[in-house]
Amino acid sequence: MIYLDNAATTQIDSDVLDAMLPYLKGSFGNSQSQHAFGRTAADAVLNARDKIAKLLGCRSEELYFVSGGTEANNTALKGICLAKGSGHILVSAIEHPSMIESAKDMAAQGFEVTFINPDENGVITPQTVESAIKEDTIFCAVMAANNETGVIQPVKEIGEICRKHKVFYFADCVQYAATNQLSVDFCDGLSISAHKLYGPKGAGLLYIKSGNKFSRLISGGMQERGFRGGTVNVAAVAGLSAAVEKAVKNQADEAEKIRKVKEHFVNRVLKEIHDTHLNGGGKILPSHANISFDGCDGENVLFALDLKGIAVSTGSACSAGAVNPSHVLTAMGLSPQRVKSAVRFSFGKHNTLSEADEAVEALKNIVSKIRSI
């Protein structure tokens, strides 16, 4: 089996799992309890928060443990906007559905929402952001790197523009964090998800710079300082912290290794299979390659690769039994044929050059078969 879908999720590292197990077995206490069991759990959460704060360069009180990227994005957009009460929201058209749908929810509640389109490379330019800002703009979401194309966004410049106009700038860093050093300097809020970093599913992190008011989405006890009720998943927090720590420590070497394998794959595909196109331009994550195969349906390429034990994905989403074309590639202005024929290959630290070669050989066969039908 060859796993080339690391953007969807990654395999948990065994030492990350080891960091979680004590809180699933012996140290099972509730972090809110006022006895020794509770204190052990609370200490684990406190240590995780302090450790991650140090790595990201923020204060521990600015971090919230949540269930993943989806909850972090929902909480940021809805929480900040609801606290303001009214205003204009800017969201890039290539955001993850957790951000796009949150913006639509806010539009239904009377907020004005503008979706900003990328250029043909999949980049949201700082100029487009600046020209979309209005007098009453309160929130802007432009992700650090796109999950379908891997295109890295000019977040530093966008952050500066938002700061100048006093707009809260939120960067979804869920895909970016696996292969890039992260700090909170450039934004007012960000999200991370552990399962994209060889950590557990159902564990995420939300950073909100202090001084920014936001409404909680989950009411309950005083967990997460009252902003997110519900018994803390201590094992998940321990896993998230271990995964973030490992990612930061080994990032540069791993990113280089991943880039080499991915580039070898992409160069071979573009050279050896005619009429193929890399989607997205400028700076792209070391891990991602979104490629269109003229004359093929991306879904068919995916199914044929799956039969050969190779896992990839397409950007299309199934809803109500219908397959919707990728909103990301469509927003980039690619033709419907090019969008339909796109396949996402996402590499991780376990992939090897020989796996890349095997995938190329399989693709050559599959694409030529599909094209001959």
**Residues with a known catalytic role:** 318
Residue 286 binding ligand PMP, by CB under 6 A: no
Determine the Cα–Cα distance for residues 161 and 129; give it in Å rounded to an integer. 8
**Residue ranges in 73-112 that form contacts with ligand PMP under rule CB under 6 A:** 73, 96, 98
One residue of 29, 69, 150, 189 binding ligand PMP per CB under 6 A: 69
Task: Give the shortest CB-240-to-ligand PMP separation in angstroms.
Answer: 10
Give the Cα separation of 359 and 4 in Å (integer).
Answer: 9
One of 40, 74, 149, 193 touching ligand PMP (CB under 6 A)? 193
Closest CB 193 distance from ligand PMP, rounded Å: 3
Least separation in angstroms between residue 9's CB and ligand PMP is: 8
Q: Could you tell me which residues are beta bridge partners of residue 115?
A: 91
CB of 236 to ligand PMP, least distance (A): 11
Contact residue for ligand PMP among 4, 40, 45, 68 (CB under 6 A): 68
77 versus 89: smaller Cβ distance to ligand PMP = 77
User: Which of 153/276 has CB closer to ligand PMP?
Assistant: 153
- When binding is defined by CB under 6 A, the residue of 189, 199, 204, 315 that contacts ligand PMP is 204
Residues 6+ apart with CB under 8 A from 370: 293, 295, 296, 297, 300, 301, 304
The overall longest dimension of the chain from CA atoms, in Å, is 70
Give residue 265's Cα distance to chain centre.
Answer: 23
Q: Is 150 in the site for ligand PMP (CB under 6 A)?
A: no
3-state secondary structure of 373: coil
Of 69 and 298, which CB lies nearer to ligand PMP in the complex structure? Answer: 69
Query: Segment near ligand PMP (CB under 6 A), from 69-77, 283-291, 316-324, 329-337?
Result: 69-77
Q: Do 364 and 293 touch, CB atoms closer than 8 A?
A: no
DSSP per-residue letters across 353-372: HHHHHHHHHHHHHHHHHHHH
Q: Is 277 helix (H, G, I), strand (E, B) or coil?
A: strand
Question: Residue 242 corresponds to which tokens in the numbers above?
Answer: 């271990």
Helix (H, G, I), strand (E, B) or coil at 184: coil
Note the residues at the interface with ligand PMP (CB under 6 A): 68-70, 73, 96, 98, 143, 147, 172, 174-175, 193, 195, 204
